[in-house]
Amino acid sequence: MQSVVLTRPTLVLNKAWQPVHVATAARCLIMLWNGTVKVVDPQDYQTYSWEDWSNIPAQNGDDVVRTVDREILLPEIVVLQNYSKVPRQTVTFSRRNLFRRDGFRCQYCGCKPQSSDLTIDHVIPRSQQGGSSWENCVLACIKCNTHKGGRTPKQASMKLLKKPVRPKWTHLFDVPQHRISSWSRFISDAYWDVELQE
Ligand SMILES: [Zn+2]
C-alpha cells in the first residue's frame, strides 16, 4: 500500500510555474526534504517548505506516507526552487513512440493506413551506414518503403513531410490515468500541443 502511494505521480513546475515534469511522490518528498522543491497548494497557490509541510496534520482520507514519528501528506504539485535540478525525461526511442511522433502517417506520401501496413524506414539506409535513431527513422507505408529501397530520399527523388527529430514531449504528461484533477489549474488543454521547454 505504502509503495503504491509513493509512486503516485506529482506534477513538477519550474521556477516560472510551468509544468516540466512528472515525478513520483517519493522523489518529490526527497526533493522537498532537501530543499529542491516546495509544495504548491493548488487551492491558493501557497507554497510550503519541508518544515511547514511535514507539520500539517493529515485529515481522514488524505494520502500520507508514515514515518517513524509522523504522517506526511503527499503533495500533488511541487515547484522547483532553482532551474535545472530535474533532468529532462528523455523519450524512449520505441516503436510506439515513433508511431506517435509520426502520427501513424507515412512520412513520404502522407497516407494513414493500418498500423500493420506501416514500416520503419531508415532515411539514410543501413546499407549506407544510416543508424537507428530518432533523426534517421520515420514511418513509411509499404509502397513508399519498397519504392525507396536501399536509397536515400534524394537518390530516390522522394521528399520527407518533415525532418525527423527526437520528440520533445514528456511521455507521462498525457497518460490520462496519471493526471490529477488539481493539475488542471496548471495545464490547459492547449498546453498539450505546445512543445515542452526546460
Ligand atoms: Zn507512403
The tens digit of pLDDT for each residue in 97-111 reads 888 899 999 999 999
Residue 188's pLDDT is 56
Question: Is residue 190 predicted with pLDDT exceeding 90?
Answer: no
More confident site: 187 or 77: 77
- Give 26 Cα–ligand 1 centroid separation in angstroms: 46
Alpha-carbon distances, residue 98 vs 14, 120, 148 (angstroms)? 28, 9, 19
Q: Which helix (H) or strand (E) element contains residue 48?
A: strand 47-48
- Give 110 Cα–ligand 1 centroid separation in angstroms: 6
Residue 3's pLDDT is 61
All cell numbers assigned to 18: 510551468
**70 — pLDDT class (breaks 50, 70, 90):** confident
d(CA 137, CA 118): 12
| β-bridge mates for residue 121, sequence order | 138
Residue 156's pLDDT is 97
First-to-last C-alpha distance (Å) of the chain: 33
- Burial of 178 from C-beta contacts in 10 A (0-12 / 13-18 / 19+): middle
**88 — pLDDT class (breaks 50, 70, 90):** low
Max Cα distance, the chain (Å): 70
d(CA 123, CA 132): 9
- Give 106 Cα–ligand 1 centroid separation in angstroms: 5
More confident site: 139 or 87: 139
CB atoms within 10 A of CB 50: 17
- Per-residue pLDDT reduced to its tens digit, 120-177: 999 999 999 998 889 999 999 999 999 999 999 999 999 999 999 988 765 445 444 4
- Per-residue pLDDT reduced to its tens digit, 21-62: 788 888 899 999 999 999 999 888 899 999 999 999 888 888
- Give 54 Cα–ligand 1 centroid separation in angstroms: 57
Q: Which residues surround ligand 1, an ion (CB under 5 A)?
A: 106, 108-109, 141, 144
d(CA 145, CA 192): 31
Which domains are seen in the chain, by residue range?
Answer: 2-89+170-193 (no CATH), 95-148 (1.10.30.50)
Residue 84's pLDDT is 58
